Structure 1
Amino acid sequence: MNELFSIVFHYLHGISRFKWTVLIVAWLFALIGWLMVYQMPNKYEATARVHIDSNRVLRPLMRGITIQTNVDRRVSLLSRTLMSRPNLEKLARMADLDLTVETDAQKEAMLSGLAKNIKLLGDRRNGSLYTVKYVHAEKETAKKTVQALISIFIEQILGDKRQDSSEAGEFLDQQINEYEKRLIETENKLSAFKQKNMGVLPGENSSYFGRLESTVSALKVAELELREVTNRRNSLKNQLSGDDPVFLPSGGSAAPDNARVASLRQRLDSLLVRYTDKHPEVVQIRATIKRLQEEGLATQAGSGFDVGGAIGSLSYQNMRTMLAEADGRVAELSIRVREYRNRVKNIKSKVSSLPVIEAQLKKFTRDYSIVKEQYNALLKRRESAHLSGEMESNADDVKFKVIDPPFVPSKPTEPNKLLLNSAVLIVAAGLAIGVGLLIALVQPVITSRHRLSRVSGLPILGAVSLIEEVSVKRKAINIILVTIPIVALLAAFAGVNFIEGLLPF
């Protein structure tokens, strides 16, 4: 540690040997630096805060369709839109920035500098608030430029308001027309599919099986009726062919037997509907009828009844008519039975296709629901756009509003000359000390026994003390003489800042 102090003391002593040189260098560099800072042109920053709702019309309409951008992206898009070349040229004319422009190169440089010095900053807490900044060497020009820029903003944003609403409305109309066509197409497909598969659609299973059951029941009734009519026809044929003759003489003796035979035949017809020919009751009734007919024939033979005359009787003609009607009824019922059988077969054949029909119906219904939902949503958005446009035209709130008017501080914003002057003072002092140290290193002296021992490499046997004849008064004068330039330098620093109006007091 002592060695370190010794080295520091040695260097300080060397610098003090050239203190006047150090002071001169400090003064020289400080004056040069302050002069350079003084010659730097002052720049004034004009600021204004505005409310710009750039998405007022499009954002409510396009929510869910388009992607919302973040603050930085929105500021960048807004800057490129509002700071276009036509707007910059118009701004230069309004702010009289083009008065000194003579050539195309100067014009390009002026427009480039204008675009570079204008800044549009967004507020991250409120996406609609923006700060407009512009830096210029002249205070009034900076303020005038910001005011002109706000005027251009108002003119362009509010002027494009109707156009933006119209474009958004056209976009919605186009989307609505497209979805309307798709909706009609899906409706037609769904309707045609339902008509084609009516009665077998999911949710109509009860109707399907009801149709099947009713058709089967109708088929059974038709088949039963066909059997009844067929049996009646066969019975009439048998009677007419002579197998079961029922024509009796005109005398009244056979009337009771004839009535009994007719009753038994009705009973036989009802039994044949339910049973076959081999049923015991059917067989018994047939035998009874046959016995009664034989007895009737015997009676007719004993009384001289003419069988040939019975053929032309009125009863025979009636039975022929009944037989013809029975034949027609059999043909009619046969056609009906075939039709019912075909219907049953057709209905049963659709059972295996029910899963496929259900899947197709779900697909058509899903497509129709999606298209209809989007179509209704677009209709609501168009109505919302119409109402929003009316509200905006009648409401007090606007798309662009000046929150803070253009303001320019009385003192220059750039450069920070107080900071620069302070830096000049510090650099000048450091540079002066460095010069003094450099001279001391070039012209070294021995200031202590330790230093002498290190330089010579020889041991020190003794030392002779220096008796200074300089009085205390003279030392004080030397200190004062050194202090005066230092104080004067500090005073000059304060004076420079005071003259330029950089001090807060």
Structure 2
Amino acid sequence: MAQYELNLRDYWLIIRKRKWIIASTVLLVSGGTWFMAQFTSPELIYETSARVKFERSLAISPLMAETMAFSETGSLSTQAEIIRSVPVLVRAGRKLGVVNKAIETSGTRLPPDVLVKVYELRRQIAVSQEGGTNILKITATADKDEFAAALANAVAESYREENIVSRNRQVDEAKLFVEGQLKAIEESYRKSEQALVAFKEREGNVFLTDEARQALDNFTRLESEREKLVQVKREVTTQLQLLKANEALPETGPVRVFSDDVQALIAKLNQKLVDLTTERAALLINYTPKHPQVTELDARIRSVKQEMLQELEAKLRTFSQRESAIRDSIGRYRERYVSLPKAALELASLEREVKVNGDLYANLKQKHQEFLIRGAERIEEVAVLEPAVPSGRPRNAPKGTLNIVLSSLIGVLLGFVLAFIRESFDTSIGTIEDVEAFLHVPVLGVIPRVDRKEVDKALKETFSEPLDPESLELLSHISPLFDLKGIVAEGYRSLKVNLQFACQDRVIKSLAFASAGLGEGKTTTVLNLAITIAQDGRRVLVVDADLRKPAVSSRLGLKREPGLSEVLVGNAQWREVVQTAADLMLGKLGFDQVLSAPGVDNLNIITSGHLPPNPSEFFNSQRIVDLIADLEENFDLVIFDCPPILPVADAVLIGPKVDGVVLVYQVGKVGRTPLQRAKSLLENAQAHIVGVVLSNVSAEYSPEYQKHQYYKYSS
């Protein structure tokens, strides 16, 4: 089907005609938007941000080197998760008064009500990285501006405090351990000195030779070394047991001496293991244990543990070899004690115990001083760069003016759409008047659109015997043949009468029906008008002059050949190809259906016949002129069903050769410009345009004329 577009003038006319639809739509949309904004305003949400800088500390004092090492949790993505972790949020909740201050941030189990509050705070916190820097932006949202700012600042400060505690926790707890050991050793040292003083007061002076005293000094030194070595071995053994039990080295555990030798070997690996475990706990906030990042961390943790096991086992073997050598030396010196007096041996034992306790006490005092210095050198990797302040404006503040403007624009667009939809379905009296004013020709008839169910119902009422589907389809297009009282038959009778009045000033023996485009109901109009005229007793001939896409033969269930093309070629006379009521009875319409229809005897048909390659040459010849004249002498009215005007020139060639041309126009099918163009082509060819038939118009029942079964036509 050929498609045509409206021009700008047509669009302007439609807008002017439907201006009240557009105005009403704009008022409804903008008014509805204002109403929704006034009575369904969302809860205001405020948003503010604090910024913190995270910088991993790499320069540490020598005293810290044995317990501190570079951490692998320094990635900003990990730090972002730590900011939203439970310990940090518990601290922030305590500062805000949301969480009871008695709740410990390091507790492994929190009450359910506390967890609910913590998770609610987490939903209000978002963390993002500022570009490619090491600055993190902590964004807090809340229904109150002041609380949002307080929450962002509390989280930033809690993150800083948690980082300080985490990075200095081992030093703090080691200091507490040394303080406890220092008290115990001090008490042992005091008791050993008192025992030595009591012995000297009781026994007096005990004299030893220089050689015996040298042996006793060496024996005391070896015993002291063995005691230290035993304690170190005990610590290493405990660490090995913990690692083999698949546990990280605890920050507090069994009694142990913080030996430089032991800590220098495992401090870095121990801190690395703790950092990896912390990073794994942070990832488990949002991921499952089977997530690829978590499984990768698990593999690294196992690798670190295996390396620690190898280091500790190697050190334990070294300590065992040293202990065996010291024991051999102690055994050799012990043999020399046999010849020494008992008092001398007791004195040597007491002096050795005083010396060992004194050395341990001095060592612990030194370690305690070192840990005090470490406590003063606290590591701070987080700095608050910019505290949050109240934003002063909610994030989702209503934009009244903008909403009204946008809704008005949407209303205008929607109004245009509704206006054009309304215009496309417009079949009211005003539309008919517009057609007459636009084309300057009368509207001869309005053929209503009828629901197929009503046609089927009329067929069942008319014919007692059930019809096959093919007959139903054929009869549905020519309802005036059997439904004489239907609204379609009334429409065609009105067309017939108006056609007669329009032709009062001249004799009309032949008419050509044409349309601007395809599918406008031209063939249906021709057949039903011919049936209506035949029912008045006038002999009517329908000629299918569409030699490109003929439809008359298929609509009446007749043979297409021979037909008009054979007559124009000269292969047959027109009387030989005319088909009458007998052919209709023998065709697909059915004998009973045609026999029961009134006026069919007056209906004659010439089908298209064979489709030639050049139909236009036939209609531009003298043979078609002679044929029309001959047919006019033998029939009361000859009706030509012509092809569309705009796609081909056949109808324009036939128009001047008949007494009149009727345009068939389906409202909304084509634009006004194509319709005007079709009329202009006919007028240029000197064809006489009798009028226009509006086809397939929607019918609306008129209640005020219900008793008379009158109808009016509108959208």
Q: TM-score, normalised by structure 2?
A: 0.29
Larger relative contact order (CA 8 Å, sep ≥ 6)? 1
Which has the larger share of strand?
2
Larger Rg computed on CA atoms:
1
Larger helix percent: 1
